Structure 1
Amino acid sequence: MTDTDAKPAPRARVEIGGARPERPREDAANILIVDDMPANLSLLTSMLTAQGYEVRAAISGAMALMSAAAVAPDLILLDVNMPHMDGYEVCRRLKADPRTADIPVIFLSAMTGIGDKVMAFEAGGVDYVTKPFELREVLARVGTQLLLHRQRRELERQRKELEERYAQVRQMQAALRGYLSDRAWESIEESVSSNRPSPPAREVLTVLVSDIEDFVRLSEHEDPGPLLADLSLYMATVAQVVYDHQGEVDKYVGDGMLAFFRSAPDALAAAQRIQRAIADFNEQQRSHGRPAFPTRLGLSTGPVLLASIGSSGRREFTIIGDRVNTAFRIQAQARAGGLLMDEATFAAAGSPAGAVPAMVRIRGKQGEERLYAISPDTALDGADPGEV
């Protein structure tokens, strides 16, 4: 570096070449100056300190690397022509170190050739100032690069914050999915995209209702804590069968469950599998000295509405219609461990063998309806119905 690298300028907090000094920053930027000429270090240090920056100096490339790695500066002013290690190599090493890779580097050099500038940018520099330089130009370039650096850091901070929030949203979404059926979730997504509740959908479905016989009486004599644990395991067992047969759990109603299927054969297969699964569950309960949960099942097939109902503060997506009410009333008339289905389900399921017809008066209905019963012993291949 020559001794005429910079044009003289005042060193105090006064106008420099006609430019008014900036006010000291609240969080003063830290600048590392790297130059093997003490006179140039002194000049640049005086100029930048007068502008409110925190300045430190290094007289060699090796010293600059150690200083930057110890405490990363906000910006580096780097001379090119230095003994032992030139500025290009210093910059390359800075960019290779994750601790210093993001620090902007402005080269200062008396070399004005295009090739020299290209080498500087290829090494990782963000700017190139030729000597002799105007101090106003250096201040302007330093200010610009510090602003860009702060903006990049802020964008990176915001990006990380958004990633964290997105991960939290995904976790919340996954948790919420456990409380909603797939159709309910689709309804929510549709209402959010259209900014209004999704319209009711009319479909022909097979509705399945399960209920534990005399659960209220049972709960009067059992400790609530262990009983809740038993009930949770029971519900998980029943719901898994529903999902395994392409059904959806609409809701849990006390100790009962409301589910629906688009296929009557799937619904019947699920109901019979539930009978077997609950028989196994009850056997395990008894073996551990816990109460059994004798379960009644009802199936009804027909048109229902899938709709979002409720107020602006609390809404629920559910199925409503006569067949839903009928399924609840049918299961109430089934025997413990048994399954009752209406005639529409029996026909849609292919008239399953072993189903016993009976004319039954359903509460709230006029006249009698033909229902079909599948007893526990049929579903359980000879098991004693009284033990279900």
Structure 2
Amino acid sequence: MDRLIVAVSERALPADDCVRHLADAGFGTFEFFSFPTWDDAEPLLFERSVSLIIMDVSVEGTSEAVAMLKNDDMFSHVPTLAVIAESDAASIERVSEIGFDAWIPVKAVDAAETLLPVALRPLIAGFQRVASLLQKTSELQEAGIKDFILLDLIKDYIPKTIWDIAQQFAHEQKIAIPEEEMDLTIVFADLKGFTPMTQHMAPREVIQTLNSVFAVASRIVYEFDGDIDKFLGDAFFAVFSDATRAVKAMVRLQLELAEMNDTRRTEGLPTVEFRIGMHSGPVIRGNVGGNHRFDNTLIGDTVNTASRLEALAPPGGIMISEETRARVGTPLPSTTMQRVPIRGRDEEITVYSLPPRRNTKPNDATT
């Protein structure tokens, strides 16, 4: 189907010559329709796909018509070309204010047949400028969509904390994330005996099992305002700013995992159990890596101690340091206090073993 040019002008426009010279200029075949008023032309815009709209600025209602075109998603991409009486600065400024994409002087329309090839050059040039503008706009839109998809993909692969910081710094036009000292509760959770279990599983089954467990862990961590800093094979490393919510989250996780294991047993599947260690204290968030790859991570004795406590926790249980227990705002359920040696420390530390209770409601886990 031929492309469509719609003109709105009280003067007769050389339609055939316009179409011919556009074709000669390499724009392909067009149909040309001319109307004396915008009201006459408007119905055709809803019936056919329009490639170019030419409007005489002297026609009543031109400004309103262009405003409608530019604000309507159906027509905002269609180039608009103004026919002006004089190509002086004031006239050109006016058509720009109205919102036209390009302009052509009326004398080019009134030119004699012998001058048409020359006279229509502004029209062709205007059409080329508009086409170039639309192409650039399309490329920018496509690039914007790709960037949006890329960012949406990346967002799921980095900690929420880092994403939020990066967004803030990008808004402030800062190009580096600085080191930051903070006080946090660190959680390490590792699936007990998972590696030997995978010897009898296909790789796809391993991923499916991990994802089913980590889906529960992720949901609970974020529900209690935490953030998963890393997945480490069959383990994860999470952070909380509130120790009470951190403990509640991990008790909830152990309870839900116990319920999941009931289902897995009935289906003849092996059970999965987390060992969890928790410690609270000062850490530093910093950038680690080289020029081509950085990791923004948490470093410090608090992180190391939480990892050591996870190794001491029983399967299905939670090992909490004295520092974390002191920050919990509500009494903990029955715990076992003990002194344990920690690799890298000269003295033993006080820890509390918190086994999950199947009859405890998740929201009341620390009450």
Q: Shared topology, TM-score over 0.5?
A: yes
Structure 2 residue corresponding to 1:358, chosen from 318, 338, 351: 338
Q: Which residue number corresponds to residue 176 of structure 1?
A: 154
**What SS class does the counterpart of residue 59 from structure 2 fall into?**
helix
**What SS class does the counterpart of residue 329 from structure 1 fall into?**
helix
Cα pair 1:95 1:101 within 8 Å, conserved: no
Is 1:370 the counterpart of 2:350? The answer is yes
Answer with 140-149 or 175-184: which moved more.
140-149
**Count of aligned positions:** 312
Alignment of 1:112-261 (within 5 A): 117-119=58-60, 126-127=82-83, 129=106, 133-135=110-112, 142-189=120-167, 196-261=175-240
Aligned in 2, Cα 1:134/1:337: closer, same or farther, shift over 3 Å?
closer
Aligned in 2, Cα 1:120/1:372: closer, same or farther, shift over 3 Å?
closer
Structure 1 residue corresponding to 2:36, chosen from 76, 88, 94: 88
Q: Which residue number corresponds to residue 285 of structure 2?
A: 306
**What SS class does the counterpart of residue 298 from structure 2 fall into?**
strand
Is 1:105 the counterpart of 2:41? The answer is no
Answer with 189-198 or 323-332: which moved more.
189-198
Q: In the TM superposition, what is the alpha-carbon distance from 1:318 to its structure 2 partner?
A: 1.4
Q: Which residue number corresponds to residue 70 of structure 2?
A: none
Over the residues paired in the alignment, what is the CA RMSD in angstroms?
Answer: 3.7
**C-alpha distance in 2 between matches for 1:221 and 1:41:** 81
Structure 1, unaligned runs of 5 or more: 1-28, 35-39, 56-70, 79-86, 108-115, 383-388
Q: Which residue number corresponds to residue 317 of structure 1?
A: 296
**C-alpha distance in 2 between matches for 1:177 and 1:132:** 55
Q: In the TM superposition, what is the alpha-carbon distance from 1:162 to its structure 2 partner?
A: 2.2
Cα pair 2:4 2:50 within 8 Å, conserved: no
Aligned in 2, Cα 1:361/1:145: closer, same or farther, shift over 3 Å?
same
Aligned in 2, Cα 1:205/1:245: closer, same or farther, shift over 3 Å?
same
- Identical-residue share of aligned pairs (%): 23
Structure 2 residue corresponding to 1:349, chosen from 328, 338, 352: 328
Aligned in 2, Cα 1:41/1:103: closer, same or farther, shift over 3 Å?
closer
Q: In the TM superposition, what is the alpha-carbon distance from 1:275 to its structure 2 partner?
A: 0.9
Structure 1 residue corresponding to 2:30, chosen from 54, 72, 90: 72
The normalised TM-score by structure 1 is 0.69
Q: In the TM superposition, what is the alpha-carbon distance from 1:323 to its structure 2 partner?
A: 0.7
**What SS class does the counterpart of residue 284 from structure 2 fall into?**
strand
Q: Which residue number corresponds to residue 15 of structure 1?
A: none
Cα pair 2:220 2:252 within 8 Å, conserved: yes
Larger-Rg structure? 1
Deviations 1:271-318 (Å, cap 9, x if unpaired)?
A: 110110110121122221111112111110000111221112111121
Answer with 303-312 or 221-230: which moved more.
221-230
**C-alpha distance in 2 between matches for 1:72 and 1:209:** 68
Is 1:284 the counterpart of 2:242? The answer is no
Deviations 1:352-382 (Å, cap 9, x if unpaired)?
A: 24222111111222121000111133x6549
Structure 2, unaligned runs of 5 or more: 67-80, 85-105, 362-367
Deviations 1:186-217 (Å, cap 9, x if unpaired)?
A: 34446656564311111100001100112222
Aligned in 2, Cα 1:294/1:235: closer, same or farther, shift over 3 Å?
same
Name the aligned partner's letter for residue 363 of structure 1.
Answer: R
**C-alpha distance in 2 between matches for 1:220 and 1:131:** 82
Q: In the TM superposition, what is the alpha-carbon distance from 1:250 to its structure 2 partner?
A: 0.1
Name the aligned partner's letter for residue 127 of structure 2.
Answer: H
**C-alpha distance in 2 between matches for 1:323 and 1:144:** 72
**C-alpha distance in 1 between matches for 2:245 and 2:215:** 19
Q: In the TM superposition, what is the alpha-carbon distance from 1:101 to its structure 2 partner?
A: 4.4
Aligned in 2, Cα 1:271/1:106: closer, same or farther, shift over 3 Å?
closer
**C-alpha distance in 2 between matches for 1:171 and 1:147:** 36
